Structure 1
Amino acid sequence: MCLNFAVLRIKVMSKVLDVVQCKCPNCGKGKVFSGQGNIFLFKMPKMNERCSECNFKFEKETGFFFGAMFVSYALAVAQMIACFVLFWYFVDLSPMRVFSIIAIITILLSTFNFRVSRSIWIHLFYKV
């Protein structure tokens, strides 16, 4: 019984790592995005149409990633709440400084949220 739990835990952690690293949900080797993007150059990451390793098609249909927008929103809200708690209660900054820091961090993490939310969305609807 303990061995099965250990194997399950390894599989779950492997999937979480695939999501964060934006790997293909089918093979776990190919990359979903061809670039990281750069917020300072106003450049969002470019997404591959298919996996380079197993030819898995990432976008199932037109508008497939519309739901990833809600995942991105949830990630941004969680990041904002974490920043608020950290800077308001532990660093004790003024409200305007806390708001400014939260806005800057949210903007800087926008390309990360874009990539990870799409990766979560792809993995969420992947059928084994």
Structure 2
Amino acid sequence: MNNEEKKPGYVSSILKLKCPCCRKGNMFLTKSYSKHLMKMRDHCEVCGQPMEIEVGFYYGTSYVSYIITVLLSAISFVGWWILIGFSYQDNRFLYWVVTNAIALIAMQPYLMRFSRTLWLSFFVKYNQGNIFKP
């Protein structure tokens, strides 16, 4: 059997908020949701990949975050429709709106970090050598 390390998966590394270059280093300074929620490392602790490619690089994450929240809302809408249903006679649609809003607000800290990780992964390729090469 091969003694080489197994290549980390793309999806699992993005979900775990890891560096897209080496897929091992953490992108954010803290794992807890404190006042430094969005504070990122300057460079990856493992491979040295810069976390901010250029000034204003992460403005594009607002589009990614918007798409993700719309998809999550659509999924919850379909799930609510199938499991509970909607009716004109009661407030089930209003209950879905409130439930969906609360769920999105609760997930927002993770979604903001996830959007940044996903956005950076669009522009940085996986480097198996784990050494940043500009």
Output the TM-score relative to the length of structure 2: 0.76
Identify the residue that residue 72 of structure 2 maps to in structure 1: 79
Residue 33 in structure 1 maps to residue 28 in structure 2: yes
Map 1:11-90 → 2, pairs under 5 A = 14-38=9-33, 44-90=37-83
- Out of 99, 102, 120, the residue aligned to residue 101 of structure 1 is 99
What is the SS of the residue equivalent to 1:17? helix
Aligned partner of 1:83: which letter? S
Identity, in percent, stands at 29
Mapped to 2, the partners of 1:76 and 1:49 lie a distance apart of 28
Show structure 1 runs of 4+ deviating over 2 A: 35-38, 41-46
Structure 1 residue 92, shift from structure 2 partner: 2.8
Q: Which runs of 5+ in 2 are unaligned?
A: 1-5, 87-91, 128-134
State the aligned residue count.
Answer: 116
CA deviations over 1:22-48 (Å, ceiling 9, x no partner): 11122221101122453xx77633221
Identify the residue that residue 117 of structure 2 maps to in structure 1: 119
Identify the residue that residue 4 of structure 1 maps to in structure 2: none
User: Larger % of helix: which?
Assistant: 1
Q: Which runs of 5+ in 1 are unaligned?
A: 1-9
Are 2:61 and 2:116, in contact at CA under 8 Å, matched by a contact in 1? yes
Mapped to 2, the partners of 1:26 and 1:17 lie a distance apart of 14
Mapped to 1, the partners of 2:58 and 2:18 lie a distance apart of 16
RMSD value, Cα: 2.2
What is the SS of the residue equivalent to 1:34? coil
Larger relative contact order (CA 8 Å, sep ≥ 6): 2
Mapped to 2, the partners of 1:43 and 1:85 lie a distance apart of 35
